[in-house]
Every structure is written in C-alpha cells, then in structure tokens.
C-alpha cells in the first residue's frame, strides 16, 4: 500500500513539474530586450540595452513615447553591467527575444573573446541573434537611432542583414557560427558592420521619424576582418562580395559589365559555387580555387544581339574577368591583413593534417604568401522573356522616319 501511495505522489509531482509554471514571469513584470550594445570605457564595459515599449509597438493607446527605450550601465564585467540595469528599468530584463548584439569598433580591436564567453554561458538566450560591429561609432550610438519603417531599430538591422547577405554584401553571423570561426584551425572570423549616416544626436529624437527623408539612418555595410579575436581591418563592398563568393555565401547577385561599344549589360547570378582544392607543389602549399557561375541577362542598355552565340560567349569571358578581379581583390586584402577568412588553411588541414600542423603556428605569414590560382567559369543560361531589346526597336524606328 505504501509503495502505491509513494508511486502516486511521484506521478503527481512529476505532472506538476512538467506542466506547471513554478518559475513563470508575467509579461508585465519584464522588460523585453531587442538589442544589446557593448563598448569599452576605460577599464569598464558600457552596456546599452534597447528595450521594447509594448504599448507603442502594438499600436494601441498610442502616445508621443517612442517604440523603444535605451538604458545604459557600466560594470567591470558584462554580467555586472547588465545586472545594474535593473536600477533604471525597475524590472528584470528578459533577453529571450534578443535580435542583435552590437560591438563598438574600439572594443572589437582589443578582443571579443570575453564577450563570446558571456553570451555562450547565458541559458536564457536563444542562438538565433546576430552579431554586428559598429564601424567608426560606438554601439550605444547605433542603438539610440529611431527608424520609421521598422518600429524596432534592432529589427531593421536584423532584416537588413538577412536581405543583404543574400546579395553577398554582408554576412549573417550567429553566436554558434562565430564561435566556430574562432576555434577552427586555419579559419579567421568575420562580422558584418553597421554605421550611422548623419548626425547621431538627430537620430535619437522623434523628429527623425517625422520626415520623408531621415536626418540619420542606420546602414548595414561592409565586413569586419578578425585575426584571432581582434578586429584588424575592413572589407569594402567589392571585397565583401569577393569574400562571400569564395565561401559560398551568395544566393543571388547582379553583375554589370560594359558592352563592346556604349552602354552596359547586367547579369543576374542565379547559382554560384566555389570549390577550394589544396595541393602541394615542390614542398609548398597551393590553392586552386574553382568558381562556377550561372546567370540570366537581366538588363540590356546597349546595342547587342543576345541571340548571337558568339556575342554571349564574349560576354561570358568579360564576366569571368570581372569576377576574378574582385575575387583576387578580396584575397589580396585579406593577405595584407594576414587573416585567412576564407578557410584556405582549414581546407589544407583537412587534406594534409600532418603537414599543416608543422606550420600552423605561423599560418598568418604562410597565408600572406600563399599561391592561389583562380579559375572562373560563367554560363549565361537565359536571356529573359524578350529576345529583342527596346534599343533595337527604337533604332529601327528612327531609320524608318529618315526614309
């Protein structure tokens, strides 16, 4: 009988633990964080947290208050700074809906390993938020800018990252991906950048929302290059595209090249694939990089017969030359920074682990002098739904008028 009673008690307790809310927290008791900004001021962290104002975001009972409020606190550690925020928020801050972590450029130059350690330990955080570097700005300035279309500025940054990453302009970096970059042999990390266009003080007022053209905007642009955990430089737009093409981060892209005479023609990249093939020649590592592209003609602003096979083959060659140019430009920039962001070293390690271990500690210098051969193959597989161009028709009409 006693055994049956004990068994019944265990079942009741188990059900309560599974379905109960012993640690529940009401929404009214929480401040929901959408973004965290991290800067370094002297020997302390300056942590900024963007808190969502639920009543303004939902559109009910609208007032003149903003959709977000930014709070700041300092601390010797990240944990201490975040705990101090409660003094101002008056509520516990909930980070389960976090979208963006912004790291100030100056802090990134000193190293971000401690920041990664903190975020990897917090059990409340999900892993689907993104990291970004505040270029030539402090993280706190980025989080204070109000945005008109996306009511929550963190959501604007989040959406911009996902949209532009498909075009190869930036890269989406989650905490899992960033930690993998940091710990992988022969692969350095990259994080996308965000900057302010305009006056940072104007961007933090509601006046920034009341104009058809904002005084201050947040722009996601370019890619930060790391060596170990320290920021060492930046890739510009073309270099960023080259990097993303090499590491297969591009879903779609537009490449514009000049025609034989006047005008330009644009090709939409539908598929692109890079293959890294390491080998050893006379005791030296060599990388053969094969980059294949398939695309459609998207815009013709010159006189060209797009049904002429020879013309299309010439266009493919021009595209191959241009693509190789920005691939080499990206590689040369990374070499100048001694940062193997492409993972060439990782590819060598996987194929020649014993040989790579001998030079692993000096890979920064080895990478700067690595021989890399690029072979690009472009195939134009479509010319659009219109075979003739409007330019041809206009030109024909002009000749008819002359007759």
Whether 317 and 392 share a structural domain: yes
pLDDT of residue 31: 80
pTM score of the predicted model: 0.83
H helix intervals, 285-387: 309-336, 344-351, 353-359, 363-368
Domain assignment of residue 85, yes or no: yes
Out of 46-60, 64-78, 119-133, 203-217, least confident range: 203-217
pLDDT band at 60 (very low <50, low <70, confident <90, very high): low
Whether 341 and 204 share a structural domain: no
Kindly state the percentage of the chain with pLDDT values over 70.
79
Q: How many CB atoms within 10 Å of residue 339?
A: 24
The yes-or-no verdict on residue 247 having pLDDT over 70 is: yes
Domain assignment of residue 6, yes or no: no
Domain boundary residue, one of 235, 263, 282: 235
pLDDT of residue 72: 94
pLDDT of residue 348: 97
pLDDT of residue 394: 44
Cα–Cα distance measured from residue 341 to residue 344, given in angstroms and rounded to the nearest whole number: 8
Whether 307 and 220 share a structural domain: no
pLDDT of residue 340: 98
pLDDT band at 200 (very low <50, low <70, confident <90, very high): low
Whether 199 and 323 share a structural domain: no
Whether 284 and 222 share a structural domain: no
The yes-or-no verdict on residue 69 having pLDDT over 90 is: no
Kindly state the percentage of the chain with pLDDT values over 90.
53
pLDDT of residue 242: 95
pLDDT of residue 29: 62
Beta strands at 130-134 and 44-52: parallel, antiparallel or unpaired: unpaired
Residue 193, SS3 per DSSP: strand
Whether 96 and 122 share a structural domain: yes
Give the mean pLDDT of 231-250.
95
Domain boundary residue, one of 235, 264, 285: 235
Whether 192 and 270 share a structural domain: no
Domain assignment of residue 337, yes or no: yes
Whether 153 and 246 share a structural domain: no
Domain assignment of residue 263, yes or no: yes
pLDDT of residue 103: 97
Whether 380 and 399 share a structural domain: yes
Domain assignment of residue 2, yes or no: no
The yes-or-no verdict on residue 3 having pLDDT over 70 is: no
pLDDT of residue 166: 82
pLDDT of residue 26: 53
pLDDT of residue 172: 94
Structural domain boundaries, residue 182: 27-235
Cα–Cα distance measured from residue 88 to residue 112, given in angstroms and rounded to the nearest whole number: 27
Whether 360 and 340 share a structural domain: yes
The yes-or-no verdict on residue 390 having pLDDT over 50 is: no
Strand partners, 288: 277, 373
Report the Cα–Cα distance between both ends of the chain, in Å, rounded: 112
Give the mean pLDDT of 183-187.
93
Domain assignment of residue 9, yes or no: no
CATH code at position 381: 3.30.300.210
Domain total of the chain: 2
Whether 321 and 203 share a structural domain: no
Domain assignment of residue 1, yes or no: no
Q: What is the pLDDT of residues 102-156, one digit of tens each?
A: 999 999 999 999 999 999 887 778 888 999 999 999 999 999 887 776 778 899 8
The yes-or-no verdict on residue 207 having pLDDT over 60 is: no
pLDDT of residue 139: 95
**Residue among 237, 317, 303, 210 nearest 265 (CA):** 303
The yes-or-no verdict on residue 388 having pLDDT over 90 is: no
The more confident residue out of 398 and 40 is 40
- Total count of residues recorded for the chain: 403
The yes-or-no verdict on residue 380 having pLDDT over 80 is: yes
The yes-or-no verdict on residue 320 having pLDDT over 90 is: yes
Chain-centre distance for alpha carbon 306: 36
DSSP 167: T
pLDDT of residue 22: 39
Mean pLDDT score of the chain, rounded to an integer? 83
Cβ atoms of residues 306 and 313 within 8 Å: no
What would you measure as the largest C-alpha separation in the chain, in angstroms?
Answer: 112
pLDDT of residue 37: 96
Out of 75-89, 183-197, 385-399, least confident range: 385-399
Q: What is the pLDDT of residues 172-182, one digit of tens each?
A: 999 999 999 99
pLDDT of residue 246: 97
Whether 208 and 73 share a structural domain: yes
Q: How many CB atoms within 10 Å of residue 305?
A: 13
pLDDT band at 87 (very low <50, low <70, confident <90, very high): confident
Domain boundary residue, one of 210, 235, 260: 235
Domain assignment of residue 12, yes or no: no
Out of 24-28, 93-97, 107-111, 330-334, least confident range: 24-28
pLDDT band at 202 (very low <50, low <70, confident <90, very high): low
């Amino acid at each position: 009988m006693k055994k049956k009673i004990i068994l019944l008690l265990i079942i009741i307790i188990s059900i309560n633990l599974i379905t109960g809310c012993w640690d529940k927290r009401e929404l009214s008791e929480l401040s929901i964080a959408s973004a965290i900004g991290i800067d370094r001021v002297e020997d302390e962290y300056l942590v900024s947290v963007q808190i969502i104002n639920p009543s303004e975001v939902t559109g009910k009972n609208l007032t003149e208050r903003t959709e977000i409020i930014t709070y700041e606190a300092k601390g010797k550690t990240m944990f201490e700074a975040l705990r101090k925020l409660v003094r101002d928020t008056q509520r516990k801050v909930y980070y389960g809906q976090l979208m963006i972590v912004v790291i100030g450029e100056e802090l990134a130059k000193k190293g971000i390993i401690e920041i990664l350690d903190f975020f990897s330990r917090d059990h409340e955080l999900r892993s689907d938020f993104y990291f970004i570097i505040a270029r030539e700005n402090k993280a706190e300035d980025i989080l204070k800018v109000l945005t008109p279309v996306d009511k929550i500025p963190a959501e604007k940054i989040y959406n911009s990252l996902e949209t532009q990453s498909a075009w190869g302009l930036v890269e989406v970096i989650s905490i899992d991906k960033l930690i993998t970059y940091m710990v992988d042999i022969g692969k350095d990390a990259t994080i996308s950048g965000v900057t302010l266009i305009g006056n940072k003080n104007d961007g933090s007022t509601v006046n920034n929302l009341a104009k058809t053209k904002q005084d201050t905007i947040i722009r996601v642009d370019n890619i930060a290059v790391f060596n170990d955990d320290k920021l060492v430089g930046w890739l510009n737009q073309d270099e960023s595209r080259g990097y993303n093409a090499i590491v297969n981060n591009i879903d779609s892209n537009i490449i514009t090249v000049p025609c034989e005479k006047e005008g330009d023609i644009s090709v939409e990249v539908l598929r692109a694939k890079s293959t890294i093939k390491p080998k050893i020649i006379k005791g030296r590592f060599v990388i053969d990089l094969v980059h294949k592209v398939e695309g459609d003609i998207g815009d013709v602003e010159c006189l060209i017969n797009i049904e002429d096979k020879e013309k299309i083959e010439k266009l493919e060659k021009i595209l191959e030359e241009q693509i190789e140019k920005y691939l080499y430009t990206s590689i040369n920039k990374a070499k100048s920074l001694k940062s193997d962001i492409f993972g060439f070293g990782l590819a060598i390690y996987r194929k020649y682990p014993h040989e790579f271990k001998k030079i692993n500690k000096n890979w920064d210098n080895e990478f700067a002098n690595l021989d890399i051969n690029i072979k690009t193959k472009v195939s134009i597989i479509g010319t659009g739904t219109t075979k003739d161009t409007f330019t041809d028709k206009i030109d024909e009409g002009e000749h008819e008028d002359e007759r």
